[in-house]
Amino acid sequence: MDIRVFRTFIAVAESKHFGRAAETLYITQAAVSARIKQLEEFYGTKLIIRDKNNLRLTLSGETLLSHAHLMVSQMEQSKLAISVASQHKVVFSVAATPNVWDAFFSNRIHDVIVFFENVSLSTEISVREAIQRKLYDKSLDVGLLTDPIKDDDFANELIGHFDLSLVGSRSDFDKSVEDYILVDWGITFQKEHARHHKVIPNFKTSTAMIALEVMLSQGGFAYLPSELIEQHIKNRELFSIETPLQIRRPIFMVYLKKNTNTVLLESFKNLLTNNFSQ
């Protein structure tokens, strides 16, 4: 059985939504459905129940979930251990939520790779819940999140912010537009957004890059990271829209306080904070 099938099952179980699982894994929703079907056929039982507005695991699905986490984790650790053993390198692993990746980390990944050239560096995009779990089981060193993890076992260091701007494929915007894309930037954004905008979205996503791709191919409006859309505005592919809603989202570097990679943690933090100050 392909390990990607178990990763897909975990993503569906955590997001409770086939579409959001597809966004997290950067695959189509049809591929998610096919992998879940393959898993159910393999075990000969129903693992997920889908109602109109609800998705839940069956008892068999709940039982499989812990085993799926274990299989994926052991597979990743075994691959990494063998690779590192052959190269005699120290391991350092980083995960970011999809929007932190799009808004900040993707543009710095080259600097990080160069900086850690003598380290076996591992990066991934994952949802908040999965990042917290992997930090706990020590299969991950650092998580980059827009909200801190409120747990005494974790250190949460604010390393910077990113700004969100309302942009569109055309310059005219009002509450009657029918191609507004709502990007999930967290609870704070949702509250402020509801106060300032009465527009009804025709598309929702948790990923900035998906929203950008839809806007560039089909048109529309959305709040996106200023840094992400800067060049598109210069090229007049997108237009900046005036709005009373000014949003700055924080970025936290989160790690276990008992993490023994203290030198690498400090080096990573300094690299990221220097990137923000430039």
Last residue of a domain, one of 60, 75, 90: 75
53: tokens are 């507005």
* Amino acid in the structure at residue 97: T
In a domain, 170, yes or no: yes
Query: What confidence score (pLDDT) does residue 63 get?
Result: 92
- The pTM score is 0.63
pLDDT for residue 116 is more than 70: yes
Report d(CA 142, CA 154) in Å as an integer: 10
40: tokens are 């159910």
Q: How many domains, in total, are found in the chain?
A: 2
Range of the domain at 165: 161-248
In a domain, 90, yes or no: no
In a domain, 134, yes or no: no
Here the CATH number for the domain that contains residue 204 is 3.40.190.10
Last residue of a domain, one of 47, 75, 103: 75
Measured between its terminal Cα atoms, the distance across the chain in Å is 47
pLDDT tens figures, 164-210: 999 999 999 988 899 999 998 877 788 888 888 889 899 999 889 99
- Closest by CA position to 207, among listed 132, 108, 103, 123: 103
Last residue of a domain, one of 41, 60, 75: 75
**In this structure, what are the phi and psi dihedrals at residue 202, rounded to the nearest 5 degrees?**
-105, -5
The answer to whether the CB of 132 falls within 8 A of the CB of 143 is yes
Average pLDDT of span 132-144? 91
pLDDT for residue 278 is more than 60: no
In a domain, 194, yes or no: yes
Query: What confidence score (pLDDT) does residue 85 get?
Result: 58
Query: What confidence score (pLDDT) does residue 213 get?
Result: 94
Report d(CA 150, CA 187) in Å as an integer: 16
Name 248's bridge partners. 163
In a domain, 119, yes or no: no
Q: What is the DSSP letter of 28?
A: -
In a domain, 20, yes or no: yes
Report d(CA 72, CA 94) in Å as an integer: 17
Report d(CA 232, CA 105) in Å as an integer: 19
Here the CATH number for the domain that contains residue 42 is 1.10.10.10
